[in-house]
Every structure is written in C-alpha cells, then in structure tokens.
Structure 1
Amino acid sequence: MTTENAIGSAPGTGANQAFNRPAAVTRSLLGYGPLAGACYLASGLAQALTRDGFDLRRHDLSLLANGPLGWIHILTLMLTGLMTVASAIGVFRALPRGRATTWAASLLAAYGLALVAAGVFVADPMNGFPVGTPDGPPTEVTPHGVLHIAAGGVGFAALVAAAFVLARFFARTSRRGWAWASLWVGLVVLAGFLGVATGSASSLAVLGLWIGVVTGWGWIAAVCIHLYRRTPHPRQPSDPAA
C-alpha cells in the first residue's frame, strides 16, 4: 500500500473518492454550535445543583462565577463563547454570500464574544449567593459587575438580532417553517432578557431568563445542524471518466 492510499483515502473507498476540504472545514465549524449549547447547559446545571446556596428559582447562572469554584463557570463561559464564534464562521461559510449572511454570522460571533467577556468580567454577588452574601441587590457595584451586565446586554441583543436576520433570510428563501421558528426564538429570548433587565429577582423573571437561554442555545444548535446537513459531504465520488 502506498503512502497516498494510506493517508488520502478511507479504507474501501477506492481511487474514485475525492476530498472536499472546504466542506469538511465548514461542517467541523458548524459542529461547535450544538456542542457549545450542550456544554453551557450541562456545566451550568451541574454547578447549580451542587454549589452550596445556589437556588435555580432565584439565581441566574452568572452568579456561579463567584466563590472558590467560580473558575469553573468562568471557563465554561469562555470556552462556549469561543465555540459559538467558531459556529458563526461555519454559518458564514455555509450560507450563500450576501448581506443577510454577513449580518447573521457577525451577530452570532458577537454573541460568542459577549460570553467570553462575561467570563472575564464576573457578576457581582447578590441575592444571598455565594453563601454569606446579603440578600437583595449587590451591596457594592463594581466595574467588573457593570461590564458583566453590559456584556450580557450586548450578547442577548446580538442573539435576538441574529434570529430576526435569519428569520427574514429564511422567509425570502421560502423556508417559512424556519422563518417563523427564528422569529419566535428572537421574541422569546428578548422577553427572557427584559424580565431580568428590569432588576427583578422574582422566580418568574429567573424562569423567563432560563427559558430564553435554553431556547437560544436550542436555536443555534438547530440552525447549525440544518446547515451541516445541507453542506456537501467532504468525500464526494469523483467522475470515473475524469
């Protein structure tokens, strides 16, 4: 067996098997979309259920970045943010070139970068977490806390805008199911963020934020899987007559 056959061809594929490297790269990048959401939610829930004093009915996941184990959530935010940026590049490569594609990919990348920023700038302790923190709003508003809120606002706004941009794109390309789904996702994420942006720490507001976060990650995963399936398989049979 030659080196070319050993490396360039999968077992049993034969010589008439071509390798589409751009398609392989695009599909690999799109794979980070579902992975980012799964990692964020799995890590967040695992911490929320095991960290002393954390209450899913009262606390949003951002508070997990505080305390001795806060580095876990900080790392989660940074890694999932970078994975989201990678998936945004995949979306740009998978969709037809145009203004909508540029905007959608850029907004998704902005959401990913906002997650990274949210990990760098930790939220101020509040509402009794970590244990020993007074109940209610932060006793001291720090620059890091303000920048964390700003990163969250930019991130959610970018995600909502990306959903609306793709809703319009799907409508123009006669994919009405995707168009309506993207529109509703944008509205749900927007409502979830506005609920806590008012400063409310009620269980209803926290639940709304959870619904918005899960919906947003689910939509990113669904879009990436949809585009992944529409991207040609990297290994395409070459023309035998070529």
Structure 2
Amino acid sequence: MTSTVQIPASAATVSTSTRSLLTCAAVAAPLWTVVSLAQAATREGFDLTRHPLSALSNGSLGWLQITNFLVAGVLTVAGASGLRRVLHGTPGGRWAPRLVRINGIGMIAAGVFVMDPADGFPIGTPYGMPEALTWHSYGHMAAGSVAFIALIAACYVLGRHFSRAGNRGHAIASRVAGTALLVGDGWAMSGGTAGSLSLAIGAITAMLWIAVVAVRYRRGL
C-alpha cells in the first residue's frame, strides 16, 4: 500500500505566486541594463563617459528609456513583495524588501521626471550644463538620489542577512555591490573624470546583485 503527500492548494498557490514575484525581481535589473547599454552604444552623440544613462530619456527616442525606467521600476516593486515573503523572520528580512521597494518607486519617479538635455546630448544641445534646471530635472535628481540610497542600503542589509546566515560569500558580494554604487555615485557627484561611467557601473552592479539574490531564493521554492 502506497500513500502520497498532497500539498494543500493554497500552499501551492502561494509558492507559485512567490516565484512569480521573485521572477519580477530577477528580470528587472537585466532588462534595464540591456536596454540602457544597447541605447548607449547606438544612439548618436551619446558618450557614457560624459552622459548618465538617464540622459537617454531625452530626444526622439527618449520614450525608450522612460519606458525602461517605468517597467523596471514596477518589476522591482513587485519583486520586493517576493523578497519580503522569502526573507520573512530572518535578519534584515523586514528592511531589505522595503528598501528594494523604495528603489523601485524611485526608478518609476525617475522615468516620470526627465532630466534636462545637457552637454551635447541629444545632438544639437549646447555643451556643458544648462544655466538653469527645470523642475522635472530637479525631480529626476531627487528620485535618483532616493533610488540609489535605498539600493545601497538594501545591499548592506542583505550583507548582514547573509552574514548572520553563515553565507560569507554572499555577505561579501552584497557589501561589494553596495560599495560599488556608493563609490560610483560619490565619484559622479564630485565631478570626477568619467563620473557617469562610474555611476553606471556601480548602479548596474548593485541592481544585478538584487536580481541574483531573487534568483537564489526562487530556486529554493
């Protein structure tokens, strides 16, 4: 006589829902990165050593980057709910998802508020910074600051989470990712050479690490 263990339908539904939410978190960063870098490599006049990826929201094709911010932001917000479920009751399990969600909201806002054309991009824009910034450019900078600060903090909280769990490799990777964005953003804000490039590297590193974490927990379901 054999018996089978039946998983309650509600539990199976929750597991499927959580996997779907974590998929959102896993997809958000790679999608944003691929779309951004593809534009950076192909749009005339764009120079990643001088222009931040946010500048791609300007020009006739600016809608691509605006949409990129909005879609990635929504996916990140949804993915934060998945992280909240799998991290529940663990060190950092409350704040890491909250910070990831704030990061996603910041990305959405960065898509809504477009920075001003500057420094020769799009083609025909005078070189250098505008004499005066528009309200939506200030809004973009505020949104970006919130998104970056939240993402840096999320990486450090995840570092504590993995450290307490005894996963030294993931703890180090989390802190490296957060530091990469902290240094990249700081260098860009200070006006350092190729600051926009350092910011892009830092932001992409931290974003992709959140995606890696989401994939790790998704596989465990």
For normalisation by structure 2, the TM-score amounts to 0.92
How big is the shift at 1:22? Answer: 0.7
Aligned with 1:101: secondary structure? coil
Residue 206, structure 1, aligned to residue 192, structure 2: no
The aligned length equals: 215
Structure 2 counterpart of 1:223, from 196, 199, 213: 213
Structure 1 counterpart of 2:65, from 58, 69, 73: 73
How big is the shift at 1:41? Answer: 1.2
Structure 1 residues 88-143: Cα deviation after superposition (integer angstroms, max 9, x where no partner): 11100111325721111000000000000000110111111111111111233111
Residue 170, structure 1, aligned to residue 162, structure 2: yes
The amino acid across from 1:207 in the alignment is L
- Alignment correspondent of 2:94: 102
Structure 1 pair 131–201 and aligned structure 2 pair: CA distance change class (3 A): farther
State the 4+ residue runs in structure 1 displaced beyond 3 angstroms: 15-19
How big is the shift at 1:187? Answer: 0.8
Aligned with 2:93: secondary structure? helix
- Alignment correspondent of 1:238: none
Identical pairs, percent: 42
**Alpha-carbon contact 2:90-2:161 (below 8 Å) kept:** no
Deviates further, 80-89 or 95-104: 95-104
Structure 2 counterpart of 1:82, from 65, 74, 77: 74
**Alpha-carbon contact 1:32-1:84 (below 8 Å) kept:** yes
**Alpha-carbon contact 2:53-2:200 (below 8 Å) kept:** no
Residue 153, structure 1, aligned to residue 145, structure 2: yes
How big is the shift at 1:29? Answer: 0.6
1:1-242 aligned at under 5 Å gives the runs 18=7, 19=9, 20-97=12-89, 100-198=92-190, 200=191, 202-203=193-194, 205-231=195-221
Once residues 32 and 179 of structure 1 are traced to their aligned partners in structure 2, the CA distance between those partners, rounded to angstroms, is 23
Once residues 201 and 38 of structure 2 are traced to their aligned partners in structure 1, the CA distance between those partners, rounded to angstroms, is 17
Once residues 148 and 48 of structure 1 are traced to their aligned partners in structure 2, the CA distance between those partners, rounded to angstroms, is 19
Structure 1 residues 22-74: Cα deviation after superposition (integer angstroms, max 9, x where no partner): 11111111011221112111111222222221112221110011112111111
How big is the shift at 1:166? Answer: 1.1
The amino acid across from 2:172 in the alignment is W
Once residues 26 and 119 of structure 2 are traced to their aligned partners in structure 1, the CA distance between those partners, rounded to angstroms, is 32
The amino acid across from 2:18 in the alignment is T
Q: Which has the larger radius of gyration?
A: 1
- Alignment correspondent of 1:10: none
The amino acid across from 1:138 in the alignment is P
How big is the shift at 1:201? Answer: 6.4
Once residues 155 and 207 of structure 2 are traced to their aligned partners in structure 1, the CA distance between those partners, rounded to angstroms, is 11
The amino acid across from 2:217 in the alignment is L
**Alpha-carbon contact 1:58-1:201 (below 8 Å) kept:** no
**Alpha-carbon contact 1:163-1:183 (below 8 Å) kept:** yes
How big is the shift at 1:86? Answer: 1.0
The amino acid across from 1:72 in the alignment is L
